[in-house]
Amino acid sequence: MKLPDVSLLKALTQGPEARALEKTRALVGEGKIDKAVATLEAALGKTPDSEILLFEASRLLLASSRETDAGECLKKILRRKPRRIDAVLEFIEEVKMKIPAVGSFYDAVAEHFIRQEDYARALDALERIGSEELRVYQGRHLAKWEAVRKNAPQTKLTKTSLHSVYYVALALERQGDYPKAAEVYRSLILKNPEEAGTIFARLQAILARDYGNLPLRLALADLQMDAGKVAEALGQMDQALEVDAAAAAPEVAARLVKRLPQQPDNGDLL
């Protein structure tokens, strides 16, 4: 009796994901990267939530210089299963050994941590993205936020819109542009006042590690003053003077002069 062909047996016993992976890897071995990508995309069309296919697609898309699509594969994994963040981080480390430019992967990681309200780890992810590339990702979120401000200027921000605003602010922090980051946070607090405590606590945590960051300290003082937390704002100004009296004195004086007419009865400012 003639035995069935081995390839036929594999086709009968393997699932569709395994068959797609085997075909993909065979095509990669032949140097046919475009066909390998097409094979994976076809397989994902049938099983779009397959984690193993998404990981493999992400790897091949990055190798094909399709960075945005590669990052989107990891975003799909993390949106569906946030607890898979450790697996995603391990995957990134593995890919980095062959392809160092993985900015789109860290963009996915940053978005994940923002959704989890872990802004410190989100900032850490953004710091792993090149400046020019980060401006591209920042621009996308800025466009989303500006569309919301234009179309619904009076309404509170939804969770999705909040995430975009935090991304923009964190990206500005990553670039060291604390005054602009503070402006974004100020706009956010005006729209969603309940976010003030979270923002203040996060900026204070940064200052605990970076005590001499004068621009950030003054930005925090401005935000606290806007929120009516005068004593806290004055405390930040005092610390700014301790850090660098020569540089801080004119900044502090300008703020006090600006605020005195607005709050003439507030003895804290005198």
Summarised one tens digit per residue, pLDDT across range 38-57 is 988 898 888 888 899 999 99
For the segment 149-175, the average pLDDT, to the nearest whole number, is 92
- The mean-pLDDT minimum among 15-24, 140-149, 236-245 falls in 15-24
pLDDT at 263 over 70: no
- The angle formed by the CA atoms of residues 11, 56 and 24, to the nearest 5 degrees, is 40
- Burial of 182: CB neighbours in 10 Å, binned 0-12, 13-18, 19+: buried
> So what's the pLDDT on residue 9?
38
> So what's the pLDDT on residue 266?
52
Give, in order, the Cα–Cα distances in Å from 119 to each of 124, 158, 197, 234, 249: 8, 18, 13, 26, 31
> So what's the pLDDT on residue 258?
83
More confident residue, 5 or 182: 182
pLDDT at 3 over 50: no
> So what's the pLDDT on residue 143?
96
Distance between CA atoms of 118 and 85, rounded to whole angstroms?
13
Which position has the token pair 């590339």?
A: 133
pTM, to two decimals: 0.83
254-258, long-range: CB < 8 A, 24+ apart:
255/218, 255/221, 255/222, 255/225
Are the beta carbons of 223 and 202 closer than 8 angstroms? no
